[in-house]
Amino acid sequence: MKRYSGFFVALVAALALWMVPQMRAQQTASVHGHVQNPAGQPVTTGTVEFSHDLSGGEWKGKKITNSFPLDSNGDYKGTDIAPGDYLVAVVTQGKSVDFQQVTLKAGDDKTVDFDMTRADYIAKLSPEERKQIEELKAKNAAAMSANMKIKNLNATLATVRADLKAAAPTKGDVSKDVTDMKSATEVMPDQSILWITYADTLAAQGDHLIKTDKDEATKDYDAAVDAYKKGAELDAASKKPVPADQAAAWNGAGNVLAKEGKIPDATAAFENAVKAEPQNAGMFYGNQAAVLFNAGQTDAAMAAADKAIAADPNRPDPYFIKGQALIAKSTFDSKTNKIIPPPGCVDAYQHYLSLAPNGPHAEAVKEVLASLGEKVDTSYRAGRKK
């Protein structure tokens, strides 16, 4: 037996060391819970404190055995609490705002919540405090309602934008999206982005109907222009204007007005887009140039194309429009039997090809240059001016 006595002692000691934390865990208790104020909001600052002093009076001065912080959700948790009877209080800004008596037994994991919306708590408050709570509840309810509206509207916007993208290639029916966005503007009529997106749906539905029901398409186009203008005006008058949204609205209005053949109004809309977002003037003047050219106003189209090129020399279409406007002014030399293009015409075509060698007008431009006896000059680079 003596031979194994040392091993036996070591084994007993090891078991004792293992049992100590186990026994300790069984001899203590843990708690967790949630704290909310009389208005039903979580209390996120302060602590939940434990004391064996069960008497009333001020909390300050009591001997505190345990203290656990509240988190951002109004929750707390604590461990390693000795069994016994406790007065447990919610302490915030150095003041006890609620309390209850709790008995903990060894091994407990007890939920101890503090709900200050309970009737007996509210009854102890002064009339002024109760009035303030009711006002706060009303504000909270309004905020929650507004947040829910915003959440729903954001979901509607995401769905509508996806529908518009899917319908664009075939000019599909988006009547449901028109209805949904009209409802959205009725829910929050002061939100500019809702009116702009509503206008987008009306314009798309007009495109869908134009070949089968011109009258209905015109109604949608007219309503789209009105909605774009309202969206732009609301944004301009808001506390935090978004110039890009205003520009998008005016650009959209310009495109729709052009479809209706209202060229002066379309031109004015594109000018408004430039004023709202000058850094994107190249695109807006380019759209203006295209509208004017398609309307047969070649001089005005060339002027707009020059503005587009000056604002952004890397956009190919304005060069094509300028070249087309100038080629119409060519003369014929009867001695040489050659077409003489005006100055700047060939240059504009060459610039177009340098920027869009495989663009939609590339082959047509190459044919024009060939007819003029010109070769494609690959030395042209974006931004080069002549």
* Cβ–Cβ under 8 Å, residues 70 and 47: yes
Q: Are strands 75-81 and 66-69 parallel, antiparallel or unpaired?
A: unpaired
Q: If pLDDT is split at 50, 70 and 90, which confidence band does 13 have?
A: very low
Higher pLDDT among residues 275 and 20, named by residue: 275
Task: Identify the structural domains of the chain with CATH numbers, from first to last.
Answer: 2-126 (2.60.40.10), 136-276 (1.25.40.10)
Q: Given the structure tokens 């947040």, which residue do they identify?
A: 147
Higher pLDDT among residues 109 and 377, named by residue: 109
**pLDDT per residue as tens digits for the range 164-179:** 999 999 999 999 999 9
Model pLDDT, residue 376: 82
Q: Are strands 331-333 and 114-115 parallel, antiparallel or unpaired?
A: unpaired
User: In this model, does residue 190 exceed pLDDT 50?
Assistant: yes
Least confident of 21-25, 195-199, 313-317, 331-335: 21-25
Non-local (6+) Cβ contacts of 161 within 8 A are: 197
Query: Which amino acid is present at 34?
Result: H
Model pLDDT, residue 181: 96
Q: If pLDDT is split at 50, 70 and 90, which confidence band does 21 have?
A: low
Between CA 326 and CA 345 the distance in angstroms is 5
User: In this model, does residue 35 exceed pLDDT 60?
Assistant: yes
User: In this model, does residue 3 exceed pLDDT 60?
Assistant: no
* Cβ–Cβ under 8 Å, residues 86 and 7: no
The alpha helices in 74-191, defined as continuous H runs, are: 119-123, 127-167, 175-187
Higher pLDDT among residues 366 and 378, named by residue: 366
Count Cβ atoms within 10 A of the Cβ of residue 165 and give its class: 0-12 exposed, 13-18 middle, 19 or more buried: exposed
C-alpha dihedral, 323 to 328 to 329 to 335, nearest 10°: 110
Between CA 386 and CA 350 the distance in angstroms is 11
* Cβ–Cβ under 8 Å, residues 349 and 319: yes
Model pLDDT, residue 378: 59
Write down the number of H helices and E strands in the chain: 13, 10
Q: What is the pTM of this model?
A: 0.66
Higher pLDDT among residues 340 and 19, named by residue: 340
**pLDDT per residue as tens digits for the range 289-302:** 999 999 999 999 99
Model pLDDT, residue 11: 38
* Cβ–Cβ under 8 Å, residues 242 and 210: no
Average pLDDT over residues 306-334: 95
How is residue 25 written in tokens?
């865990």
**pLDDT per residue as tens digits for the range 90-122:** 999 889 999 999 999 999 999 999 999 999 999
Between CA 276 and CA 6 the distance in angstroms is 91
**pLDDT per residue as tens digits for the range 116-152:** 999 999 998 999 988 988 888 888 777 777 778 778 8
Residues, the chain? 386
Q: If pLDDT is split at 50, 70 and 90, which confidence band does 364 have?
A: very high
User: In this model, does residue 10 exceed pLDDT 50?
Assistant: no
* Cβ–Cβ under 8 Å, residues 113 and 105: no
User: In this model, does residue 25 exceed pLDDT 90?
Assistant: no
Non-local (6+) Cβ contacts of 10 within 8 A are: none
